[in-house]
A and B are shown apart, each in its own frame.
Chain A
Amino acid sequence: MAVLMDSTLPTRRRPLGTLIGIAVIIAAGIIGYFLFPNNLALLTRIVATMLLVLSIDLVTGYCGVATLGHAALFGAGAYGAGIVSAHFGITEPLTMTLIGAAAGAVAGLVSGLVILRAHGLPQLVLSIAVVHLFHEVANKASGWTGGSDGLSGITTDALLGLFEFDLWGRTAYFYGIALLLIVFVLLRILVQSPFGMLARGVREDPIRVAAMGASVHSVMLRMYVISGAVAGIGGALNAISTQVVGLDSLSFTMSAEALVMLVLGGTGSLYGAMVGTVSFMWFEDVVSAANPFHWLTIVGALLIVVVLFAPKGLYGSAAAFLSRRRGGGK
């Protein structure tokens, strides 16, 4: 083919994004372990929340779906993993995690089917309704969930038969980091795949996607199910590490806070989700210790500053700044 000679596209050096991400997660995991050896429970909670925020990024950042009800998926995973342990004696942690992922995926399918019927504000309202419904169901089914007392009696075997989940939370912490790494790598593959590209297309212009012959609804629903599995893993991690599941894990408050963390870090990059979660939860922890009375005010002020001066979020704005500086040379 004669055209081929001229048609070779200028190649662009791809940054080794995924490898850098893996290195950063491992490094941060090790640093966290040595800096805060007495605070591993908080760090594990941060990792679990990170999984929730990542899962919101999939539907919000990649598909453009607005949701204030994503904790429903996280809670489904937490209750799924907790209930099989407390009621059915399935105490193997990997199995519990997989069940949590499955429960989250099913919750994602159910809430996706409801939420994706609408667009814009009605969609947001539906997502709030969904998380309230999940919350009420968990509250009423107290025989299974422990209701407002929380689900207790969750026990877990040693991880891989070797590492007991200890009082210090070391095993839970490293298990969390390992889960985060696996999820991160899989999601990187996903968002760079043709499907990930199609999802970005849906976010930018659904009508164009339909004009290419693709089903917008099916893309969003698939992403919702995947997102549910990711949130479910986060929920399962929370259940395994704290050995209790409370109603707050599928609350509106948790949904809203997680969305705030995503906006704080920046949507649509996976990195923003992780940066936002760490920043928010670390800041919350520091400020609430320093000033137990006004900490929420300070968190609010921080958010206003970020949204006004770095509307792409902490990571998004930093990345944009760096690429502008690099782009200046060409």
Chain B
Amino acid sequence: MSLFEVKNLRKNFGGLAVTDNVSLSLAPGDRLALIGPNGAGKTTFVNLVTGHIKPDGGSIALAGEDVTGLKARQRVSRGLVRSFQVTRLFADMTPQEHVALAILQRDGKSTRMFGRHDAMREVVEEVGEILNLLGLTELAHLKVREIAYGQQRLLEIALAMALRPKVLLLDEPAAGVPQSETARIERALDMLPPELAVLMIEHDMDLVFRFAKRVMVLAAGAVIFDGSPQDVTQDVRVREAYLGSYANAGSAA
């Protein structure tokens, strides 16, 4: 039995199939990259899977449990966590507060109305470990609005780690990050727990090839390729789907 099973997922927007019978399964430790030209329906797929929009058909199961009817937050508490294509962070709060909040939420303590997170030893220690792992220790007390975008992306990964998911969906973790800093994102992704199943959407092909053990290609809402990173560039249908867009630009980058 696989850890994460999506079957025949469908979604139409005004007659247009943006997700067309997509199925996929993930086992613990999987590193899957979902790629495809712009408008292929990658982000819609993530939104469907995480419960931000409702599918027209199909099912989603996590660890054997059907979660298709559950709300986004209920899926999170069962271990299905996502990051966002454009960072969604609390501009007026510090990295320390972000990670502490994620830890408290994970442990069911986020609605406590007394005590302070920075006085709870086990929380402070874990926050310290996670921020240190991602090289964010020095920024721990700055407001997020004051730190660089690349570092905000790292903080998004830190939040995902703090939630200790079973399945993690990364929606373009390196989007908007200057080329010089993608190495840090890559290192951060390497530090994700080995047993975690990761599905990553990404345009940066170098990152895809280094990170993924398996690649799926989405075009016009349908899966047109599912296989190893070595084979994807040879595939005729993939080349067709990308032709004239950025197949060449991607390999040049």
Contacts and interface: CB of A to CB of B under 8 A. Distances in A.
Interface of A: 1, 3-4, 6-10, 12, 189-190, 192-198, 200-201, 204-205, 207-208, 210-215, 218-219, 222
A204 B88 CA distance: 9
Interface of B: 50, 72-74, 76-77, 81-82, 84, 88-93, 96-97, 100-102, 104-106, 109-117, 124-125, 127-129, 131-133, 137-138, 140-141, 159, 163
Interface residues of chain B: helix, strand, loop or mixed (majority) = helix
8 contacts: A3-B133, A9-B127, A12-B141, A189-B114, A198-B104, A198-B110, A213-B77, A213-B105
A193 B81 CA distance: 25
Contacts, number: 115
Contacts of B93: 197, 200-201, 204
A200 B140 CA distance: 18
Contact of A201 (B81, B90, B112, B163): B90
Given A7-B131, A201-B101, 9 more contacts: A7-B132, A10-B140, A189-B114, A195-B110, A197-B97, A197-B110, A197-B117, A204-B93, A222-B111
Contacts of B50: 211
Contacts of A193: 112-116
A194 B50 CA distance: 25
Contacts of A204: 90-93
Nearest to B81: A211
Contacts of A7: 125, 128-129, 131-132, 137
Given A204-B90, A213-B77, A194 B101 contact: yes
Contacts of A6: 132, 137
Contacts of B138: 10
Contact of A4 (B88, B92, B129): B129
Contacts of B109: 194
Contacts of A201: 90, 93, 101
A192 B115 CA distance: 7
